[in-house]
Amino acid sequence: MQLGRSVRPKSAPNGRRFNCGGFTLVELLVVIGIIAVLVALLLPSLNRAREQAHAAACLSNMRQLAMAAGMYADDNRGRFPAPAWIGDPEPDDWIYWQTGLDQTQGALMKYLGGYNANLLRCPSDDVTSHISTTGLTGPDQYLYSYSFNEGMFNHNARVNHTQVIVRSQILHQSEKVLLIDEDGRSIDDGCWWPTSPATNDRNVLSNRHYYSTENVTDLTRGRGNAGFCDGHCEPLERTDALLPQFYDPITDAQ
């Protein structure tokens, strides 16, 4: 081949030229359409797989918290720390979260290897959307996902100066809820109090991992992650979370 000489497309015997390479516009549109259909078919499965991974990570976080609470009780004659209720911060709150407090000083932090915000948050929970409330320290927003059972952490007993529950008094510990992954639209502190007269429909077990949409008012649908007094964690039906046999430390199984 000589330099400068143009290369012409090959011709068929009848004199027509071949068009080598490339797609027509119709072919491209067909390929794009097929890809769009495949994505639409696979996206729900991918979302479910992602949520299952988030649910597993959430349960892992809760196991560590349940174990930390157990270790704290072992070091304090069976007594759990305070539940970090919004109304009155206590020196032994399991987590320091109100404005002006040092998050690294919560009672459970040393048992968790130090303060780690990711360990205290469910991967599927948008903590910035949590409601803001007004406590004794002013307007505050609870930027974590988990809350401990008031009945085990003795908020009511502390307020009323009555005998607190210690770990050895808790009946059927494998069935008693110690902490929950709380609904992002109900959580306002680190205390889960299912019978609180002050919160009514709040303190709701989140169903974000196991139901199509998180719903704070319909307590009959779905289930959520819960940690139990013996240290294990598993999903719990929302309806069960409202039964005394699951939340009350001294109620016998029905």
State pLDDT tens for residues 127-159: 998 988 876 666 789 999 999 999 999 888 887
- The count of domains in the chain is 1
Query: Is the residue at 6 inside a domain?
Result: no
Q: What dihedral do alpha carbons 199, 200, 202, 203 form, nearest 10°?
A: 80
Query: Is the residue at 118 inside a domain?
Result: yes
The residue range of the domain holding 189 is: 25-247
State pLDDT tens for residues 75-120: 999 999 999 988 778 999 999 999 889 999 999 999 999 999 999 9
Share of the chain above pLDDT 70, in %: 82
Cβ-contact 241, 205 below 8 angstroms? yes
Per-position DSSP letters for 44-58, written without gaps between them:
HHHHHHHHHHHHHHH
Query: Is the residue at 177 inside a domain?
Result: yes
Q: What is the mean pLDDT of the chain?
A: 85
Query: Is the residue at 9 inside a domain?
Result: no
d(CA 231, CA 64): 9
Query: Is the residue at 254 inside a domain?
Result: no
Identify residue 251 by its one-letter amino acid code: T
CA pseudo-torsion sign 142, 118, 248, 160:
negative
Query: Is the residue at 122 inside a domain?
Result: yes
Query: Is the residue at 107 inside a domain?
Result: yes
Query: Is the residue at 36 inside a domain?
Result: yes
